[in-house]
Amino acid sequence: VFQTTDEAALSKALTEDMVSYYVGYDPTADSLHLGNLVLILTMKRLQMAGHKPYALVGGATGLIGDPSFKDSERSLQTKDTVTKWSGKIRSQLERFLDFENGENKAEMTNNYNWFENLTFIDFLRDVGKHFTVNYMISKDSVKSRMESGISYTEFAYQIMQGYDFYELNQLHNVTLQLGGSDQWGNITAGVDLIRKKTGDEVYAFTMPLILDSNGNKFGKSEGNALWLDKNKTSSYELYQYLINSDDNLVESYLKVFTFLIPEEIMDI
């Protein structure tokens, strides 16, 4: 865990009861990648511990694009493309999460469902009024783009993600959001929105970004993606990449990508 909103309260909640939690995946490509696998396996660990996962596909936010730590504006995709990619993401998540069994079976949802009929005026009145511009530009994801320029479209992304958390909280009593550490600003926007609109406290934590030997994160726009689709990255390529990892990375990779217990990892 890299960051958390309230470690003591979150630990207590996870120990005492079943917590409903979510991770959002924007369909900005036709496959998830090794960087996404960090959060998928974290979702799996929590499900194994008895908590209920909601996998959110960003059918709406995928049409906008997250500016977090990107040097330039994303290319916008068509609705048809985003819809097709959303289906592929679901099929990949189903390989890891249990969508069939038990009280805590995983649920799939799509934020296009609540954004589709939300008017711009309603969005500004009911959501936008809870965010000051000062608050929004203080986020690292926005700050890094202030010099090179950021469109209003991408600037508003953090409010959309914050609204996702609010909707899931109202619809399914989701009280925890997970994400990569580069998502911290977007995630806390949701925590703050729920507090302002309902008075309730919800939780969030992030995982450290997994970096390659050059210190770069795994990602689509970084050009070094290792895809979870074997037609895009073969099993051989993935194996070769991991077996050739720098020795200094092996301990952290074992902690994140395997279900070995800490003692076994330290023995290795």
pLDDT tens figures, 116-154? 899 999 999 999 999 888 888 887 767 777 777 778 877
Contact 251, 245 (CB under 8 A): no
Q: Which helix (H) or strand (E) holds 12?
A: helix 7-16
Q: Using one digit for the tens of pLDDT, what is the confidence trace for 53-76?
A: 999 988 787 776 555 545 544 455
* Percent of the chain as helix, strand, coil, to the nearest 5: 50, 10, 40
| pLDDT reported for residue 77 | 64
What is d(CA 238, CA 21) in angstroms, rounded to the nearest whole number?
29
Q: Encoding tokens for residue 164?
A: 């996702």
What letter does residue 32 receive in the DSSP assignment?
A: -
Q: Which of 28-42, 203-217, 239-253 has the lowest mean pLDDT?
A: 203-217
Q: Compute the mean pLDDT over every residue in the chain, rounded to the nearest whole number.
A: 86
What is d(CA 219, CA 74) in angstroms, rounded to the nearest whole number?
13
Alpha carbon distances (Å) from 182 to 12, 67, 214, 240: 26, 10, 18, 27
What is d(CA 179, CA 187) in angstroms, rounded to the nearest whole number?
8
**Of 16, 84, 94, nearest in space to 55 by CA:** 94
Strand partners, 206: 3, 179
- DSSP readout, 157-217? HHHHHHHHHHHHHHHH---EEEEEGGGHHHHHHHHHHHHHHH----EEEEEPPPB-TTSPB
Q: Using one digit for the tens of pLDDT, what is the confidence trace for 219-264?
A: 555 556 889 999 999 999 999 988 988 888 889 899 999 999 999 9
Amino acid (one-letter) located at 155: F
